Structure 1
Amino acid sequence: MPHFHFHVSNGTGETRDEEGVDLPDLDAAHARALSGIRSILREELGRGVLDFGGMIRITDPQGRLVREVPFDSAVEVRRSGRPR
């Protein structure tokens, strides 16, 4: 089973995933990255801030980049036509 690392880069800097996790394939790793991003955004929303400028970089055990997942790809933002 492939091993993936998930390194988070956002407004607070970079947090490297030194342990990583075994997952069936890159699609499963991508889904895990999206879930992680949504968790981060939930915490930010609790503080009244949403920063879509971050990303998760997925690497293999040798540190080679296999995919970048931007924060803004993890959610769909909708606005109604109603005034504030």
Structure 2
Amino acid sequence: MPTYYFHIKHADYVVPDPDGETFPDLDAARKEAGEALRELVARAILSNQAELPQAIEIRDTQGHLAAEVHIEAAIPQIAHRNRDQ
């Protein structure tokens, strides 16, 4: 099973994932990244952080970008709200 690393993207910096996690496939990693991003956003809101994480980069063991989950995909209500403004 492949190992993927979830790097957390903010507006002007990235927090790297030094450990990684093993998943059956990239789709499973994408699903987990979406859940992780929702949790990170919720924590940021509850703790009144000024900045929300914008995305999670999913990288393979060589550091190549395999996929990216953006906040709008993880939390559709945010995308809907941004379109209405």
Whose Rg is larger?
1
> Is the contact made by 2:8 and 2:57 (CA closer than 8 Å) also made in structure 1?
yes
Quote how far apart the aligned CAs of 1:50 are: 7.2
Deviates more, 1:26-35 or 1:10-19: 10-19
Q: Give yes or no for contact 1:41–1:50 (8 Å, CA) kept in 2.
A: no
Amino acid at match of 1:37: L
SS at match of 1:24: coil
Superposed CA RMSD in Å reads 2.1
Q: Distance in 1 between matches of 2:30 and 2:70?
A: 11
Who is 1:24 aligned against?
24
Q: Which is further off, 21-30 or 39-48?
A: 39-48
**1:20–1:26: structure 2 CA closer, same or farther, 3 Å change rule?**
same
Give the percent of matched residue pairs that are identical in Structure 1 and Structure 2.
31
- When normalised by structure 2's length, the TM-score is 0.79
More displaced, 36-45 or 21-30? 36-45
Structural mapping, 1:29-68, within 5 Å: 29-46=29-46, 47=48, 51=52, 54-68=54-68
Alpha carbons of 1:18 and 1:48: their partners in 2 closer, same or farther (altered >3 Å)?
closer
Unaligned residue ranges in structure 2 (runs of 5+): none
- TM-score when scaled to structure 1? 0.80
Which structure: greater helix fraction?
A: 2
